[in-house]
Structure 1
């Protein structure tokens, strides 16, 4: 069973979002997503300063099995990117909710965060797959 931390928000495309104390949000892919992809061999994160729309494909993860787009859960501006993943994509496999974060976003509208799935909602969604 995949880990689904209770303090995060989720979307059905398998991204997670953590609200930080400064109002920014940290985004990554879920444990379920990294397990489904298998061993990751390439990660591309969005550039700092890029403005993204909600549900916009803005990053890529590639495994030995497949390549997959990663989507922005909400709209905003990228304020940090985890460049360490470029040389060490396996961090996403070993620590998807910690060192495997992908980018940080300044939300265009913080109220959009409330529309995302909580842990129970995401777990219920996973049971339908």
Structure 2
């Protein structure tokens, strides 16, 4: 699905207010990453510093820090759980986040608490369109503004 020139794969779930995607793995863990909109807002990312492996992460609390263009922000978790994996490739190549946000640029894996009860909170496919568009309107996102470092996917 394409929204304002940004691609959002239909097979991912989204936490629009946090700029994140979620993917359920076969073992029940969740892989989290910055979605195309999050990348567009932050621009080029220079570093990602995750919390320690095994850390207990509460919903709404930081699982790591993203550093970009003379600023930094905490990446907040959309749900509680245990940090079960960290994308170590980002230590040497943080640009992977921006270059391949839905693939090699994933951030962390989380062993979520009560995922079956939480799953419906995170829209997927066309069901996510309204929530993503609403977040972009709320943020005043304008992909034509030269100050926006929009990640536009070419088909």
Deviation, 1:116, is 1.9
Q: Residue in 2 aligned with 1:98?
A: 103
- TM-score normalised by structure 1 residue count: 0.91
1:28 corresponds, among 33, 36, 41, to 33
Q: Aligned ranges for residues 1-129 of structure 1 at < 5 Å?
A: 1-11=5-15, 12-110=17-115, 111-118=117-124, 119-128=128-137, 129=139
Structure 2 Cα separation of the partners of residues 121 and 48 of structure 1: 34
Q: Quote how far apart the aligned CAs of 1:127 are.
A: 4.0
Moved more, 34-43 or 109-118: 109-118
Asked which structure has the greater CA Rg, the reply is 2
Q: Distance in 1 between matches of 2:26 and 2:46?
A: 32
- Runs of at least 5 residues in structure 1 that lack an aligned partner in the other structure: none
Counterpart-to-counterpart distance in 2, 1:49 and 1:40: 25
Q: How far 1:30 sits from its partner (Å)?
A: 0.9
**Cα separation, 2, equivalents of 1:71 and 1:121:** 22
Gapped runs of 5+ residues in structure 2? 140-155
Is the Cα contact below 8 Å between 1:61 and 1:67 reproduced in 2?
yes
